[in-house]
């Protein structure tokens, strides 16, 4: 026998190798994780970040009982890339999950083929392999399938989550039957025009042409059917059915999704998850659809705030967070759970209707959603609570990133950060526990799509935070706070000003980026820019191109990828799959 020839030394080595391969078993010191991410929430919308006119008692409580980060930065100013970077701990362009040049900046359809590539590793994947029960409730927006309707190559269940309930896509205007359509506004008008032209052409051909061969075989019904379907789609629109979908795991559970019952359904799912997994380590990623447009608030929070529908939505979100925190308490999980709250990026300044603002408030920070460089687009709330382990009420002003959550969770869960790729996050634990004074981020790089718009230098000796802008969007109308004429600021092209020399700000004395420095006002102007330029050069050496997930061909809607219950293309079922009919109210 081969084993007989192994000496006792070799046996020990073999045993050791086996133990290492199996990993350490989960211990009591491995906490649960409750990760909450809001959508489009501004840092200035929360009481604990200085808002005195909105009421967010539950999130404020989290901050009081935990640590509050004041310079917590999203990796991108838009949903899809920010979430990709958050889940993978690396900039979105490293996985191809950001715009290339002036192209698309986020996934547009459930039935496109782009999405988070299967070879990327999320923190959920690492924790699942460590034995955690992993679930995501809420918004995904990182793609569904690649080649066939059910391959689900980008789906949460392919990325480390064992259960999923929520939106594979995002909320959008089209999801509100009473609101104005968003994605298909132009599409429908142009489509209806095309249907008319084609219809007339077909009629003319039938009357005049193809002599001796009346088009009465299969052609007539096919052409007529196609035109009728086209007219139907363009008149009533199918975007709501195609994009506004709720899934449970691999199945479609509501199509189109029912907005008024969405918030209570998400709360019930979260409470049920916590109860089911109360005796085993879990990761719950609660990716809230709030406070993205359309602002859907139902029940007690309707009209509850003095800031209109937007304020109502913030307060409803806080209520949902409160429900989930209470469920932690009720299951005796509060002290064993590492709870985190953030937003995917800053508030949406251009969102408004005739009654006023419909987007978030970024406090003293300039800019907002869609802007990669200005602080308002990327500086977001960051709250961490772990009672008994992290000091309650601590406030940390050091620069930190949403990409830091990956290594933090992996370290606490006893897993390993992937070693075969560039990672951009650093564990927050030394900082949160007060073991170090400075965050591991000396430099940070702020992207808009795949273009570097700005870079930040936290100068350790002086404590100053320098920020250099290579490009900034041109606000229109000029002198306003955003790109109101076009609805969202671009990353490149004529809507962007390129600065040479770059704009330089010092954020500890000028957090609003109001006073650009020059050689006259700052004697170290040239030296600081030179240091930042060297850091940018070193950073750029780490960037290698990845297949673009948002290329036109990947973005396009294709019928064979459409998640659909019932009959395609009409696709319809109410909560949890009963085909069509009115949605069942939840108890």
Interface pick for ligand NAG out of 191, 387, 430, 495 (rule CB under 6 A): 387
* φ/ψ (deg, to 5) at 438: -115, 150
Q: Does residue 542 touch ligand NAG according to CB under 6 A?
A: no
In sequence order, the 6+-apart residues with CB closer than 8 A to the CB of 127 are 33, 134, 160, 283, 409, 410, 413, 415
Q: How far apart are alpha carbons 547 and 94 in whole angstroms?
A: 9
CA dihedral 41, 44, 46, 48 (to 10 degrees): 140
Q: Which is nearer to ligand NAG, 335 or 462 (CB)?
A: 335
Q: Which is nearer to ligand NAG, 8 or 119 (CB)?
A: 119
What is the dihedral sign for C-alpha 118, 120, 126, 132? negative
Point out which span in 78-86, 113-121, 431-439, 522-530 binds ligand NAG (CB under 6 A): 113-121
CB of 79 to ligand NAG, least distance (A): 19
377 contacts ligand NAG (rule: CB under 6 A): no
Closer of 389 and 476 to ligand NAG (Cβ):
389
**Annotated catalytic residue, options 79, 483, 491, 571:** 79
25 binds ligand NAG (CB under 6 A): no
Nearest to 283 by CA among 394, 168, 415, 390: 415
Tell me the closest approach of the beta carbon of residue 254 to ligand NAG, in angstroms.
29
Does 335 help bind ligand NAG (rule: CB under 6 A)? Answer: yes
Round to whole Å and give the CA distance between 394 and 65: 9
How crowded is the C-beta side of 482, counted as CA atoms within 13 Å?
Answer: 28
**160 near ligand NAG, rule: CB under 6 A:** no
By CB under 6 A, residue 54 contacts ligand NAG:
yes
48 is catalytic: no
Within 342-361, the residues that bind ligand NAG by CB under 6 A are 360-361
Q: For residues 145 and 549, which CB has a smaller minimum distance to ligand NAG in the complex?
A: 549
Half-sphere exposure of 283 (CA within 13 A, CB side): 28
Instruction: Assess 388 for contact with ligand NAG (CB under 6 A).
Output: yes
Q: Is the dihedral of CA 543, 544, 546, 551 positive or negative?
A: positive
Three-state helix/strand/coil letters over 170-200: CCCHHHCCCCCCCCCHHHHHHHHHHHHHHHH
Which residue has tokens 């990993």?
23
Residue from 311, 373, 377, 502 that binds ligand NAG (CB under 6 A)? 311
464 near ligand NAG, judged by CB under 6 A: no
From the list 292, 377, 318, the residue with the least C-alpha distance to 82 is 377
Element (H, E) at 314: helix 308-330
How many residues line the site for ligand NAG (CB under 6 A)? 21
Examine residue 98 and tell whether it contacts ligand NAG (CB under 6 A). no
301: contact with ligand NAG by CB under 6 A: no
Stretch touching ligand NAG by CB under 6 A, among 114-122, 161-169, 245-253, 322-330: 114-122
- CB under 6 A: which stretch of 40-48, 179-187, 232-240, 253-261 binds ligand NAG? 40-48
Instruction: Tell whether residue 120 is a contact of ligand NAG (CB under 6 A).
Output: yes
143 binding ligand NAG? (CB under 6 A)? no
Q: Residue 456: phi, psi to the nearest 5?
A: -120, 140
550 sits near ligand NAG (criterion: CB under 6 A): no
Q: Is 117 in the site for ligand NAG (CB under 6 A)?
A: yes
Give the integer Cα–Cα distance in Å for 414 and 24: 7
The residues in 402-461 that bind ligand NAG, with binding defined as CB under 6 A, are 421
CB of residue 97 to ligand NAG, shortest distance in Å: 11
Residue 480 lies near ligand NAG (rule: CB under 6 A)? no
Listed ranges 51-59, 142-150, 224-232, 268-276: which one lies at the site for ligand NAG (CB under 6 A): 51-59
Q: If binding is defined by CB under 6 A, does position 264 make contact with ligand NAG? A: no
Give, as one character, the DSSP assignment of residue 26: P
Q: Is 292 a catalytic residue?
A: no
Cα separation of 157 and 161, whole Å?
5
Distance (Å, whole) CA 264 – CA 204: 54
Q: Which of 48, 72, 91, 141 is catalytic?
A: 141
d(CA 213, CA 222): 16
Is residue 100 within 8 Å of 426, Cβ to Cβ?
no
* Contact footprint for ligand NAG (CB under 6 A): 42, 44-45, 51-54, 117, 119-120, 307, 310-311, 335, 360-361, 387-388, 421, 546-547
| Catalytic machinery residues | 79, 141
């Amino acid at each position: 026998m081969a084993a007989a020839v192994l000496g006792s030394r070799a046996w020990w080595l073999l045993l050791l190798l086996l133990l290492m391969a199996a990993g350490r078993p989960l211990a009591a010191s491995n906490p649960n994780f409750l990760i909450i991410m809001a959508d489009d929430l501004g840092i200035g919308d929360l009481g604990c970040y200085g808002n005195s006119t909105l009421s967010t008692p539950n999130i404020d409580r989290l901050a009081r009982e935990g640590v509050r980060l004041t310079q917590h930065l999203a990796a991108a100013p838009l949903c899809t890339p920010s979430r990709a970077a958050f889940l993978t701990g690396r900039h979105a362009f490293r996985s191809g999950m950001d715009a290339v040049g002036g192209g698309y900046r986020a996934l547009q359809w459930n039935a496109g083929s782009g999405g988070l590539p299967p070879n990327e590793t999320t923190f959920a994947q690492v924790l699942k392999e460590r034995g955690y029960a992993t679930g995501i409730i809420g918004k995904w927006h990182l793609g569904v399938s690649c080649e066939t309707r059910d391959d689900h190559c980008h789906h949460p269940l392919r990325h480390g989550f064992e259960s999923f309930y929520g939106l594979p896509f995002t909320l959008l205007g089209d999801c509100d039957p009473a609101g104005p359509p968003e994605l298909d506004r132009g599409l429908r008008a142009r489509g209806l025009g095309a249907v008319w032209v084609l219809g007339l052409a077909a009629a003319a051909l039938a009357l005049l042409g193809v002599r001796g061969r009346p088009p009465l075989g299969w052609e007539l019904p096919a052409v007529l059917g196609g035109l009728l379907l086209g007219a139907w789609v363009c008149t009533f629109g199918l975007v709501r059915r195609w994009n506004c979908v709720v899934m449970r795991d691999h199945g479609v559970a509501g199509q189109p999704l029912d907005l008024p019952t969405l918030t209570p359904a998400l709360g019930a799912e979260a409470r049920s998850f916590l109860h089911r997994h109360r005796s085993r380590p879990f990761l719950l990623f609660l990716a809230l659809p709030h406070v993205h447009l359309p602002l859907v608030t139902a029940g007690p929070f309707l009209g509850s705030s003095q800031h209109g529908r937007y304020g109502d939505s913030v307060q409803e979100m806080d209520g949902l967070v409160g429900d989930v925190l209470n469920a932690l308490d009720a299951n005796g999980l509060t002290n064993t759970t590492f709870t985190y709250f953030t937003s995917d990026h800053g508030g949406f300044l251009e969102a408004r209707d005739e009654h006023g603002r419909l987007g978030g408030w970024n406090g003293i920070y300039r800019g907002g959603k869609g802007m990669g460089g200005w602080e308002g687009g990327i500086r977001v709330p960051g709250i961490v609570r772990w009672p008994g382990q992290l000091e309650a009420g601590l406030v940390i002003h050091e620069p930190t990133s949403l990409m830091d959550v990956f290594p933090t969770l992996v370290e606490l869960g006893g897993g390993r950060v992937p070693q075969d790729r560039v990672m951009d996050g650093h564990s927050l634990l030394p900082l949160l526990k007060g073991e170090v004074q400075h965050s591991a981020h000396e430099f940070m790089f702020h992207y808009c799509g795949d273009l570097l718009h700005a870079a930040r230098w936290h100068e350790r000796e002086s404590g100053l935070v320098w920020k250099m802008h290579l490009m900034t969007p041109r606000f229109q109308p000029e002198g306003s706070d955003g790109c109101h004429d076009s609805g969202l600021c671009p990353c490149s092209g004529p809507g962007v000003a390129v600065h040479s020399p770059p704009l330089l700000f010092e954020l500890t004395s000028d957090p609003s980026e109001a006073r650009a420095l020059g050689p006259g006002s700052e004697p170290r102007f040239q030296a600081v820019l030179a240091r930042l330029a060297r850091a940018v050069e070193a950073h750029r050496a780490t960037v290698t191109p990845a297949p673009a997930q948002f290329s036109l061909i990947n973005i396009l809607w294709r019928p064979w990828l459409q998640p659909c219950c019932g009959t395609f293309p009409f696709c319809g079922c109410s909560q949890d799959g009963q085909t069509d009919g009115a949605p069942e109210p939840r108890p």
